[in-house]
């Protein structure tokens, strides 16, 4: 059984709505999030850690809200910002901006311990913190007896929108203040959100690849 690695039950509901009930099992595991400017190295690193914990196939879901006029902030720090500022203050910051465009991004990282044509190493070598965390390619020191990091396949999804006053009571996280095509994500059901969302798009790419596996 594929384990969907997240501490967030909302993400699992959406994954199940997309992939089918009973196809994934939630692994409530809080992997260490490295500091990086992109989601890919965080998700890849998390997938390797979660695979070692689960000892079976895992899919890590790392997502974030990227506000255009703030150069993508909070991006990979979205969870920390939701916990500290909260979505009302994020909305207040956005209200002070002329340009309220934003996007959600999601990276799914799959690891099952086997080899496959993995995505290129997602570490941004310009990002010294992430590169140091990933370690040299031939000496990852993870104790799995391999001479390199475990292969990880990445699937990315993106959805544009804008920050608005909160509407709707569905979804989770920033959903009430994120509007796409006239509706906030909190006003859409899981199915409609999946049809357009960052997670839905990443899940679509994953499902297509996984079906052949
Ligand atoms: P993480 O991927 O669990 O680290 O989530 C990052 C942050 O983005 C958390 O604050 C989540 O609540 C939020 N987030 C992730 N995906 C979504 C989504 O689909 N809608 C609303 N907020 C989300």
- Asked if pLDDT for residue 104 goes beyond 90, the answer is yes
> Is 212 among the catalytic positions?
no
Higher pLDDT pick, 144 / 197 = 197
Q: Show the domain range for 108.
A: 2-210
68-81 per-position pLDDT tens digit: 999 999 999 999 99
Mutation probe of ligand 1 site: the residue of 78, 158, 190 with most atoms within 8 A of C-beta: 78
The residue whose CA has the least distance to atom 23 of ligand 1 is 173
Query: Tell me, what CATH number does 51's domain have?
Result: 3.90.950.10
62, 121, 144, 175: which one is catalytic? 62
- Candidates 180, 207, 208, 204; CA nearest to 193 is 180
Higher pLDDT pick, 162 / 138 = 162
Number of domains, the chain: 1
pTM of the model: 0.88
């Amino acid at each position: 059984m594929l384990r969907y690695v997240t501490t967030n039950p909302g993400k699992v509901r959406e994954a199940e709505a997309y992939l089918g009930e009973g196809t994934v099992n939630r692994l409530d595991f809080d992997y260490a999030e490295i500091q990086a400017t992109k989601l890919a190295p965080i998700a890849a690193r998390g997938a390797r850690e979660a695979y070692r914990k689960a000892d079976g196939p895992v899919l890590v879901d790392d997502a974030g809200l990227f506000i255009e006029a703030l150069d993508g902030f909070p991006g990979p720090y979205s969870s920390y910002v939701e916990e500290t500022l909260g979505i009302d203050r994020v909305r207040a910051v956005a209200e002070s901006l002329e340009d309220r465009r934003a996007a959600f991004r999601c990276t799914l990282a799959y690891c099952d311990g086997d080899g496959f044509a993995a995505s290129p190493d997602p570490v941004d070598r310009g990002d010294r913190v992430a590169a140091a965390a990933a370690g040299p390619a031939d000496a990852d020191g993870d104790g799995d007896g391999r001479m390199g990091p475990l292969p990880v396949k990445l699937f990315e999804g993106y959805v544009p929108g804008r920050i608005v006053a909160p509407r709707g009571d569905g979804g989770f996280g920033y959903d009430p203040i994120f509007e796409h095509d006239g509706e906030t994500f909190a006003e859409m059901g899981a199915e409609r959100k999946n049809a357009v969302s960052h997670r839905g798009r990443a899940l679509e790419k994953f499902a297509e690849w996984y079906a052949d596996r």
